[in-house]
Amino acid sequence: MAGIYRSTRYVLQNAFGSRSLPGAVRFYSQKPDPAPLINVDVDSKTGVATVTMNSPPVNTLNTPFLNEMGGVIKELEKNKTRGLILTSSSNSVFSAGLDIMEMYKAPRDQMAVFWTTLQNTWLSLYRTGIPTVAAINGHAPAGGCLLALSCEYRVMVGPKFTIGLNETQLGIVAPPWFLICMREAVGPRQTELALTSGKMFTATEALNIGLVDQLVSNKEEALAEAHKFIARFAKIPPLARKLTKEFTRQEGIKYMEEKMLDDLETFVDVASSPSAQKGMEMYLEALKKKST
Ligand SMILES: CCCCCCCC/C=C\CC(=O)SCCNC(=O)CCNC(=O)[C@H](O)C(C)(C)COP(=O)(O)OP(=O)(O)OC[C@H]1O[C@@H](n2cnc3c(N)ncnc32)[C@H](O)[C@@H]1OP(=O)(O)O
């Protein structure tokens, strides 16, 4: 355990060069997979991009997917895109959250690369100056909920899908930055109640506590409402908007900028612990049983 900080650093330095970490670590230089896991469609009239997660069956967040997502955000920023709508190509799943296979029986160095990629991609989405909306057209557990929470506005298709940070049910702990995102949406009381029990909320329950902002009955409506939200900013000077967003989100940004390596070390220690591994094993078995 004592060596994890050094060994993680060693692995990252080997993989990405020897400049100081984490600031110098960049993960977007890898060529994307030839078959994209994320489709981007920019509306030529409004300049708003619909970013569709398309990694069947359930859009799990693994290293290639997160790298591609990071690259997409960077590209949209470069092109001064007017808005980003995050949605899924699946009819029933927005994102199933982190890919458990990146953590289950994975070597520590693989876990370290995975987590650092997640941290970087999350920060890009959370702090981007582009107005962001999640059009949640399916279940959004754990990391899927985090993706939605990182956007500025959430429109959810109801009533049958669920959303929440369910980590405790798996015997793992949602890290502080997940918690900060939840608290920003629903406040401290609901956050504690939700996270200690790992509650998954129905769309209606999520609306009632402010976890989502609007309910709609299908994906088309979700996209239309997302476009309306972004249109609100047409006359707002972009720099004033961007800085205001950064000030509002400074707790999460500061946490990640200052605690990135501590957070990584804790993640690898916790995720590789026998109890977390056992929890994941049982959870994977339950998922397999359910799908057969
Ligand atoms: C202090 C710091 C400590 C840090 C500790 C770690 C912090 C970790 C933080 C976040 C954790 C996560 O995000 S963990 C992931 C949590 N996700 C879930 O709980 C969702 C699990 N999935 C489901 O509930 C369902 O799959 C679904 C509701 C999303 C969809 O159901 P559906 O019936 O449509 O699909 P299947 O269940 O049949 O799934 C299809 C297929 O995908 C596999 N699968 C599903 N989810 C995952 C996943 N998250 N990772 C890996 N694989 C997944 C599932 O097993 C099926 O596989 P097979 O077809 O091979 O059976």
- Per-residue pLDDT tens over the stretch 75-123: 999 999 999 999 999 999 999 999 999 999 999 999 999 999 999 999 9
Active-site annotation holds for 143? yes
Check residue 31 and give its pLDDT.
57
Is there a catalytic annotation at residue 98?
A: yes
Assess contact for 135 and 181: CB atoms under 8 A: no
CA of 232 to the centre of ligand 1 (A): 35
Own/partner contacts of 255-260, CB < 8 Å, gap of 24 or more, are 255/176, 255/177, 255/180, 256/119, 256/122, 256/123, 256/177, 257/123, 259/176, 260/22, 260/116, 260/119
Q: pTM for the whole thing? A: 0.91
What confidence tier does 53 reach under pLDDT thresholds 50, 70, 90? very high
- Mean pLDDT of the 152-177 span: 94
Whether ligand 1 lies within 6 angstroms of the CB of 166 is answered as: yes
pLDDT > 50? residue 260: yes
Say how far apart CA 12 and CA 156 lie, in whole Å. Answer: 37
CA distance 252 to 249: 6
Amino acid at 132: T
Please determine, for residue 292, whether its predicted confidence score (pLDDT) is greater than 90.
no
- In tens, the pLDDT along 182-236 reads 999 999 999 999 999 999 999 999 999 999 999 999 999 999 999 999 999 999 9
Distance in Å, CA 161 to ligand 1 centroid: 15
Please give the number of the atom of ligand 1 that sits closest to the Cα of 162.
28
Is 215 marked active-site? no
Q: Among the atoms of ligand 1, which is closest to the Cα of residue 143?
A: 13
Which residue pairs from 236-241 have beta carbons closer than 8 angstroms and sit at least 24 positions apart in sequence? Answer: 238/129, 241/129, 241/131
- Paired tokens of 66: 């997160």
pLDDT at 271 over 80: yes
The predicted structure's pLDDT at residue 291:
79
More confident residue, 171 or 86: 86
Question: Around Cβ 150, how many Cβ atoms within 10 Å?
Answer: 24
For ligand 1, whether the C-beta of 231 sits within 6 Å is no
The reported pLDDT for the residue numbered 195 is 98
For the CA of 266, the nearest atom of ligand 1: 2
